[in-house]
């Protein structure tokens, strides 16, 4: 029995919707279609914007966070935050491979990370084992379905699975930086202290070369020492991205008064759209990786201030994104040690 390669056969409400846009998916794991992969889930890495919203709603109470996640999955058949619309990714072991997918380089028992959002992945949670708010990770007993079109990566043997998952969770961001940034560019990274921001900084520093410049924006001094010690930016600026005019003045001053060629927004709260746009030159590029972005605010805001910039939606996938991101950790021992400290030993 074949289903739609994009998973529309699992959509319950509304009829005709794609799985990501659907309000509810069929998460019955007793029937696995011939072009589906059944995964025994080990852990969920909740999208940063989503986890932050759930955590704030729960007042930081871990039990309430767990209850909210169970409520979302029970209602929707997937982990899709109804406020942010975002999901995350998962790690698990392959439990069954449909007969139509037997040619895959995959076997039952392989440990994989899914590279498609939880917001479109049928999921059933039997129970929550542990919640780690510091790293947006939720260990569970449960199962999920990967559609025929679904992307995944077999976990590498040369690094801890938690390290790989932390990097793969944001793999789209540094890989997009690799595509967008050219030698000599002046690049601004907003929200540079988080894991996506740090990986983007490293990739930007590689790409701009000796004639370019990278400015890292952080919200507090907490991340400055790490960024400076690892030489991930030419300048670090503490500024509030929700106050766009003040923000623009601060980051332009750090860039010698010159507007930026590219800005990368990794801020995980709402309201950073104009701070990402204002410091960028006409014909420059603004890449919104954060799922907290309002693309309506971004589009109308750019129009309102007369900025002719190319705005890129934060597609979590680009060709080679898993390989590029994992290679960054292999290539930079300092960055890898920081990720191991924060996401493996922390």
Which ranges in the chain are annotated with CATH 3.40.50.720? Answer: 172-343
**Integer Cα distance of 32 and 199 in angstroms:** 37
Structure tokens at 171: 């793999």
pLDDT 10s per residue in the chain (346 long)? 899 999 999 999 999 999 999 999 999 999 999 999 999 999 999 988 899 999 999 999 999 999 999 999 999 999 999 999 989 999 999 999 999 999 898 999 999 999 899 999 999 999 999 999 988 999 999 999 999 999 898 888 888 888 888 888 888 899 999 999 999 999 999 999 999 999 999 999 999 999 999 999 999 898 999 999 999 999 999 999 999 999 999 999 999 999 999 999 999 888 999 999 999 999 999 999 987 889 899 999 999 999 999 999 887 778 888 899 999 999 999 999 999 998 876 5
Give the list of residues 6+ apart from residue 333 with CB closer than 8 angstroms, or none. none
CATH code matching the domain that covers 172-343, chosen among 3.30.950.10, 3.30.300.340, 3.40.50.2000, 3.40.50.720:
3.40.50.720
Query: From CA 84, how far away is CA 140, in angstroms rounded?
Result: 22
Strand-pair category, 137-147 with 88-97: unpaired
Q: Which residue has the tokens 């058949």?
A: 77
Comparing C-alpha atoms, which of 14, 4, 16, 24 is closest to residue 122? 24
Give the alpha-carbon dihedral of 299, 136, 215, 321, to 10 degrees: -80
Q: Which of 36, 149, 143 is nearest to 97 (CA)?
A: 36
Write down the residue that tokens 């999901």 correspond to: 87
End-to-end CA gap in the chain: 45
Which of 92, 241, 116 has the alpha carbon at shortest distance from 168? Answer: 116
Q: Of 115, 149, 143, which Cα lies nearest the Cα of 28?
A: 143
Is the backbone peptide bond immediately before 14 cis, with ω within 30 degrees of 0? yes
Helix (H), strand (E) at residue 263: strand 260-265
Nearest CA among 102, 79, 108, 110 for reference residue 148: 102
**Helix residue ranges, H only, 272-332:** 273-277, 295-304, 321-331
For 169-204, the three-class secondary structure string (H helix, E strand, C coil) is: CCCHHHHHHHHHCCCCCEEEEECCCCHHHHHHHHHH
Measured distance CA(113)–CA(92) in Å, rounded:
7
Question: Looking at the whole model, is its pTM more than 0.85?
Answer: no
- Which residues have a Cβ under 8 Å from the Cβ of 243 and sit 6 or more positions away? 275
Q: What is the pLDDT of residue 345?
A: 62
């279609």: which residue's tokens?
Answer: 33
Q: How far is CA 181 from CA 124, 176, 201, 231, in A?
A: 40, 8, 11, 18
Backbone angles phi, psi at 189, to 5 degrees: -110, 115
pLDDT at position 123, please?
A: 98
CA 223 to chain centre: 19
Query: Residues of 102-113 as b/e, b for ≥16 C-beta within 10 angstroms?
Result: eeeebeeebebb
Cα–Cα dist 74/184, whole Å: 50
Taking Cα atoms as reference points, which of 299, 301, 302 lies closest to residue 281? Answer: 302
Write out the H or E segment, with its range, that includes residue 133.
none
Token pair for 20: 């990501």
């Amino acid at each position: 029995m074949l289903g739609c390669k994009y998973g529309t056969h699992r959509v319950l409400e509304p009829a005709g919707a794609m799985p990501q846009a659907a309000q509810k998916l069929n998460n019955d794991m007793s029937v696995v279609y011939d072009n589906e992969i059944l995964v025994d889930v080990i852990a969920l890495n909740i999208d940063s914007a989503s986890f932050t919203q759930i955590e704030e709603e729960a007042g930081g109470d871990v039990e309430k966070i767990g209850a909210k996640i169970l409520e979302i999955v029970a209602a929707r058949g997937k982990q899709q935050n109804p406020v942010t619309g975002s999901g995350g990714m998962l790690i698990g072991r392959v439990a069954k491979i449909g007969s139509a997918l037997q040619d895959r380089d995959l076997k039952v028992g392989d440990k994989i990370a899914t590279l498609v959002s939880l917001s479109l992945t049928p999921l059933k949670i039997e129970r929550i084992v542990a919640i780690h708010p510091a790293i947006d990770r939720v260990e569970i007993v449960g199962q999920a379905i990967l559609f025929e079109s679904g992307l995944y990566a077999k976990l590498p043997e040369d690094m801890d699975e938690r390290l790989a998952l932390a990097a793969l969770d944001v793999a789209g961001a540094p890989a997009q930086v690799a595509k967008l940034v050219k030698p000599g560019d002046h690049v601004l990274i907003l929200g540079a202290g988080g894991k996506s921001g740090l990986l983007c900084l490293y990739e930007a520093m590689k790409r701009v070369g000796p004639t370019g410049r990278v400015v890292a924006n952080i919200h507090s001094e907490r991340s400055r020492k790490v960024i400076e010690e690892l030489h991930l930016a030419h300048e670090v600026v503490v500024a509030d991205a929700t106050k766009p005019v003040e923000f623009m003045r601060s980051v332009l001053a750090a860039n010698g008064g010159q507007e930026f060629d590219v800005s990368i927004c990794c801020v995980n709260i709402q309201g950073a759209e104009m701070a990402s746009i204002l410091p960028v030159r006409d014909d420059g590029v603004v890449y919104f990786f954060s799922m907290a972005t309002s693309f309506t605010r971004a589009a109308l805001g750019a129009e309102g201030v007369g900025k002719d910039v190319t705005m890129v939606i934060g597609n979590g996938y680009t060709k080679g994104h898993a390989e590029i991101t994992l290679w960054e950790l292999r290539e930079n021992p300092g960055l890898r040690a920081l990720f191991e400290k924060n996401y493996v030993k922390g």
